[in-house]
Amino acid sequence: MAVEGGMKCVKYLLFFFNFIFWLCGLAMIVVGVLVQIALNRTIVINNLSASSAPIVIIVVGVIVFFIAFFGCCGAWKENNCMVTMFSILLCLVVIIEIGAAIAGYIFRGQLKVIVNDSLNEMVVKYNGTAEIKKILDDLQTELKCCGVNGSSDWKGHYGGGQNDVPDSCCISVQPSCGVGAMNNSKIVNQVGCETSVEDLLRKNIMWVIVAALVIAFLQIMGIVFACWLMKGIRSGYEVM
């Protein structure tokens, strides 16, 4: 009876953990979407590990969302095949999540170089691409910054004069406010965007890493409970 009571406890624990996984899957989707939106709104990044990490989190979140339902059914019906399949699929998901966390950590280490290269490329292409122009204007307006390391980065890249900067660099944005005002600290923001963008992205990538690792830990516990339940089912114990 002690063993039967233990298996019954494991069964309900597995069911409870699957409900938690369902919520975790929903949370992963939300976190992944928010981080992806932050990346798209702040900077155009060509680095694969940077752009793929939040997408991986979203995909895994959708998978976890459905696997959790599958696991609930298997635990409640005491179906050995369903519980086994649930464990295998969950193991694969944990591996993917750990990979996403590693990719995010690697990206954080390369963040300064990636942001610097991407911003410099956007400054050079500012006048030729409407999409980049809009992104960089929004970035400079929202973060109150100008250029990569400072307003002088715009020299030769904007306007007809050497001291012209985009209007989005101005402290108070108005038409033609940046004409000839590159070094005027009363009109133009003198601080570059690199540090602000780097801090913003570092914060968002950290959310991806924390979400992936915490959920992976909870899922490992779920795998353990699933294995215990499979052992009980195979041994023929009554768990109801």
Show the tokens assigned to 78. 């005491």
Same domain, 226 and 165: no
In a domain, 142, yes or no: yes
- What is residue 170's predicted lDDT score, i.e. its pLDDT? 92
Tokens of 106: 């690697």
pLDDT for 216: 74
DSSP collapsed to 3 states, the chain: CHHHHHHHHHHHHHHHHHHHHHHHHHHHHHHHHHHHHHHHHHCCCCCHHHHHHHHHHHHHHHHHHHHHHHHHHHHHHCCHHHHHHHHHHHHHHHHHHHHHHHHHHHHHHCHHHHHHHHHHHHHHCCCCCHHHHHHHHHHHHHHCCCCCCEHHHHCCCCCCCCCCCCHHHECCCCCCCCCCCCCCCCCECCECCHHHHHHHHHHHHHHHHHHHHHHHHHHHHHHHHHHHHHHHHHCCCCCC
Question: Side chain identity at 240, as an amino acid letter?
Answer: M
Quote the tokens at residue 99: 């990979």
Whether residue 119 lies inside any domain: the answer is no
Same domain (yes/no): 148, 102? no
201 shares its domain with 105:
yes
Whether 3 contacts 208, CB under 8 Å: no
Structure confidence at residue 169 (pLDDT) = 92
d(C-alpha 153, C-alpha 149), whole Å: 7
One domain, residues 19 and 97: yes
Q: Are residues 137 and 181 in the same domain?
A: yes
For residues 128 and 189, membership in a common domain is answered with yes
Q: What is the CATH number of the domain that holds 147?
A: 1.10.1450.10
Q: Considering the domain boundaries, does residue 240 fall inside one?
A: no
> Is the residue at 117 inside a domain?
no
Total-model pTM: 0.54
HSE at residue 5, side-chain half, CA atoms within 13 A, is: 2
The verdict on residue 29 lying in a domain is: yes
Same domain, 201 and 187: no
Separation CA 212–CA 47 (nearest Å):
20
* Residue 159, domain member (yes or no): yes
Do 204 and 95 lie in a common domain?
A: yes
Q: Residue 78: which domain range? A: 2-112+197-234
Sign of torsion, CA 135 138 142 147?
Answer: positive
User: CA gyration radius for the chain?
Assistant: 25
Number of domains into which the chain is organized: 2
How confident is the prediction along the chain (240 residues), in pLDDT tens digits per residue?
Answer: 334 555 667 667 777 777 777 777 777 778 777 766 666 655 545 444 455 566 767 777 787 777 777 777 766 676 677 777 777 887 887 787 777 677 767 766 677 787 888 888 888 888 877 888 888 888 888 889 998 888 888 887 776 667 888 888 998 888 888 888 888 888 998 888 888 888 877 777 777 677 777 777 777 777 777 777 677 666 654 444
Whether 138 and 106 map to the same domain: the answer is no
Q: pLDDT at position 33, please? A: 77
Q: 95 and 175, same structural domain?
A: no
Same domain, yes or no: 19 and 100? yes
In this structure, the answer to whether residues 211 and 190 fall within a common structural domain is no
Phi, psi of 79 (to 5 degrees): -90, 110
